[in-house]
Amino acid sequence: MLVTGLFIITFVVQAFEIPSSSMEQTLLIGDHVFVNRIQFAPKSSWVGPLLPYRDVHRQDIVVFLSPETPGLYVVKRIIGVPGDRIHLRNGVVYRNGQALQEPYVDHDRDTFDEYRNEFPSVPPTGDPNIWVNWAVDLPSYIHGEDIVVPPGHYFAMGDHRGVSLDSRYWGFIPQENIIGRPMFIYWSFETPEDQYTKTAWSDRMLFLGKIVLHFFDKTQWRRTLQIVK
């Protein structure tokens, strides 16, 4: 039974911690989620009946390896699949000519940023958050007023649009970079916004001590076992 449990934890589901506010209010800093690693993986007959495979869909929340930063895990929502035509006007996303109704989006802290809100009509120049490789490649994907998602890739954005660095800043997600889909929050702890930018061991130990002392009163119990969607 122990071996089976370890196999499932290692190969079927994986635990991830949310370090930034880019997916608020869907996922908060300090949320701990279990991610289904099998659903979007290449098909294998032995596991299909237990965790059915399927393609990545629009609106799926996915965990993936950053195209820009090797080894960095990122979580965003899929906005465009291969062949989709995407553009933004005044912060509103248009997909294949239709304005999206996105009740999950949080525009808090959003300010008028021409590149962010009028993508891709504003050239990617002068913003240090834009990956230089993407600034070079972006024009080749623009057709008319849209950016067209190429085969084998996806366009993703954070739900907290005013702070999210996403496909507008580093480009498309290759299919092979996708790790899986968050299933549910198994634990959530009230965490300062800058906690995951601290790298000193003293800061980490102080936060660990806070968890021990305030496990019960700082755990966000209402989020426990909440399905991610």
Q: How many whole angstroms separate alpha carbon 176 and alpha carbon 151?
A: 12
> For residue 219, what are the β-bridge partners?
189
DSSP secondary structure letter of residue 150? P
98: left (phi over 0), alpha (psi -120 to 50) or beta: beta
Q: Cβ distance 145 to 128 under 8 Å?
A: no
Report residue 147 as tokens. Answer: 């950016």
Q: How many whole angstroms separate alpha carbon 63 and alpha carbon 182?
A: 7
What pLDDT sits at residue 12?
75
Q: How many whole angstroms separate alpha carbon 164 and alpha carbon 158?
A: 5
Q: DSSP labels for 22-42?
A: TTTTTS-TTEEEEEESSTTSP
Q: What share of the chain is helix, strand, coil (3-state, %, to 5)?
A: 25, 30, 50
Side-chain half-sphere CA neighbours of 147 within 13 A:
28
Report residue 105 as tokens. Answer: 């989006």
Please confirm whether the linkage preceding 120 is cis (ω < 30° from 0): yes
CA atoms 102, 28, 8, 154: torsion sign: positive
Q: How many whole angstroms separate alpha carbon 194 and alpha carbon 85?
A: 35
Q: How many whole angstroms separate alpha carbon 26 and alpha carbon 43?
A: 29
pLDDT tens for the chain, 229 residues long, are 333 333 344 557 889 999 999 999 899 999 999 999 887 766 655 555 555 678 899 999 999 999 999 999 999 999 999 999 999 999 999 999 999 999 999 877 656 788 999 999 999 888 899 999 999 999 999 999 999 999 999 999 999 998 999 999 999 999 999 999 999 999 999 998 877 777 788 878 888 888 888 888 999 999 999 999 9
What pLDDT sits at residue 152?
96
In this prediction the pTM is: 0.87
Q: Cβ distance 140 to 159 under 8 Å?
A: no
Q: How many whole angstroms separate alpha carbon 119 and alpha carbon 86?
A: 9
Side-chain half-sphere CA neighbours of 55 within 13 A:
8
